[in-house]
Amino acid sequence: MSEVEARLASIQAEIDDLCFVAYDFSEENRRATVEGFDGAEADFDGDDPELEPDDGEDVRLVDLDPPGLAAGLVAWAVGVGVGRFDVRLATAERAWPVEPDPFDPLPVCSPAMLTGDDRLPLVEPPAGYPLSVSPVLVDDAGHELDITGRVRSVFEVVFRDAADAWWSDVGAALGVRGGEVDGWLAKGFFDYHLKTYSRSRRKAPVLWPIGTKSGTYLVWLYAHRVSADSLFQVLHDVVVPKLGVEDRELTRLRQEAGVNPSASQRKAIDAQERLVAELRELREELEAVAPLWAPDLNDGIVVVLAPLWRLFAHHRAWSTELKKHWGKLARGDYDWAQLAMRLWAERVVLKCAKDRSLAIAHGLEDVFWVQDAANDEKWYPRKEPTTPIDQLVAQRHHPATAAALQRANT
């Protein structure tokens, strides 16, 4: 970072020199611009991150933040693990893309993302990619998709023989007891991620930890790889097998303890019973909400996740935020959203007949509205829609969704 800051200072000085030449600044004007019009140097107090004189030279002070740098590194490694970022850019196996000119169109992807030669996102990593990636990770030590294991694999690819030292140093910088990173991933990562992906009143995390109420078991979903089937896949491929494993472990503990368990055995059985009970609740909630969910990121993250608010009970603030938006969805405040049409087609279709903007959002403009032949800017509601309203509603009615919605509201 110090080297980067020094390079930026050098570039800024070069820009200043070019501007002085372009605008034909005299030496006196140059000096006044750099030092101030009274000829005095700026007053530095040692805490100012700007240029500070040191033995006659300007030195840029770098505000190093070890916990923040460590958190950023681990967050990037998680992004690599879900297929968002390209680890080859960090190992120099792939060259960084050429920086665009100032007036070039914005690229589809940011420079660090995992893309093909066409610079478009890849669903699967290319042949020879040094890591396995998955849009679903779990907080479950020893599991193939364990998030800590995936982050550790990224460290090994990037840092190689120094991976152990980096792992220990990063854990220490994060303040993790014992110098391990897994504790921070389970307890601190989502707070960091949520803050990173929030600006003003807009909150848009792209990694979503659904899980048990206590947070003892989490499943992470990557936003840009989710689909209407994702929750069904999590239910059948992840949660149900996990419940089976923990249920068998509970049976083993009970059998081993017998009719007169010791205090330590009773404690272990109680903890296992709580875990199994929470996993059953998680399974039931997934069964209830999976038919409702059809994520469309154009609706916005908080709207997409609103039906899942109970699955974030382990993070009270975020669950409360999503519950608030679920209430607004149910009241009709977000009827422009595709999710609103899926869940409340009867209400939304009728609104499209009265509100052209809603009709446009749901592709029903031509059904309910007609353009003035003499004025292209004027539109009028049709006396009769081109397709009967009951037929439009029937086309968008999903019996499984209706049943799930009724269950979710109980």
| Residue 277 located in a structural domain | yes
- Domain end, chosen from 271, 293, 315, is at 293
| Residue 39 located in a structural domain | yes
- Phi first, then psi: what are they for 208, rounded to 5°? -120, 110
Overall average pLDDT of the 221-246 stretch: 97
How many residues are listed for the chain in this entry?
410
**Residue 408 pLDDT class (50, 70, 90 cuts):** low
pLDDT higher than threshold 90 for residue 180: no
Q: Which residues contact 356 (CB under 8 A, 6 or more apart)?
A: 365, 368, 369, 379, 381
- Whole-number pLDDT of residue 47: 47
- Domain end, chosen from 226, 256, 278, is at 226
- Whole-number pLDDT of residue 56: 44
Question: Would you give the DSSP letter of residue 57?
Answer: E
| Residue 330 located in a structural domain | no
pLDDT higher than threshold 70 for residue 308: yes
How many whole angstroms separate alpha carbon 126 and alpha carbon 82? 14
Both 26 and 73 in one domain: the answer is no
| Residue 280 located in a structural domain | yes
Q: Which domain holds residue 32?
A: 2-56
pLDDT higher than threshold 60 for residue 41: no
Q: Report how far apart, in Å, the C-alpha atoms of 243 and of each of 145, 176, 248, 306, 314 are.
A: 16, 29, 9, 25, 18
- Which amino acid is present at 61? L
| Residue 320 located in a structural domain | no
| Residue 274 located in a structural domain | yes
Q: Which residues contact 366 (CB under 8 A, 6 or more apart)?
A: 386
Count structural domains, the chain.
4
**What is the value of pTM for the model shown?**
0.84
Query: Which residue carries 């909400």 as its tokens?
Result: 289
pLDDT higher than threshold 50 for residue 53: no
Q: Report how far apart, in Å, the C-alpha atoms of 198 and of each of 104, 110, 174 are.
A: 27, 17, 21
CA-based angle 14:111:63, to the nearest 5?
55
| Residue 325 located in a structural domain | no
Q: Which residues contact 59 (CB under 8 A, 6 or more apart)?
A: 51, 52, 53
Find residue 57's DSSP bridge partners: 54
Overall average pLDDT of the 298-309 stretch: 96
Instruction: Point out the least confidently predicted range of 62-66, 200-204, 256-260, 335-339.
Output: 62-66
| Residue 305 located in a structural domain | no
- Cβ-based neighbour number of residue 404 at 10 Å: 20
Overall average pLDDT of the 39-57 stretch: 45
- Which amino acid is present at 86? D
CA-based angle 269:270:273, to the nearest 5?
85
Both 347 and 369 in one domain: the answer is yes
Instruction: Point out the least confidently predicted range of 49-58, 172-181, 264-273.
Output: 49-58
pLDDT per position as a tens digit, 63-97: 678 899 999 999 999 999 999 999 999 999 999 88
Both 143 and 281 in one domain: the answer is no
Both 264 and 380 in one domain: the answer is no
Both 242 and 144 in one domain: the answer is no
- Whole-number pLDDT of residue 45: 45
- Whole-number pLDDT of residue 410: 61
How many whole angstroms separate alpha carbon 312 and alpha carbon 320? 9
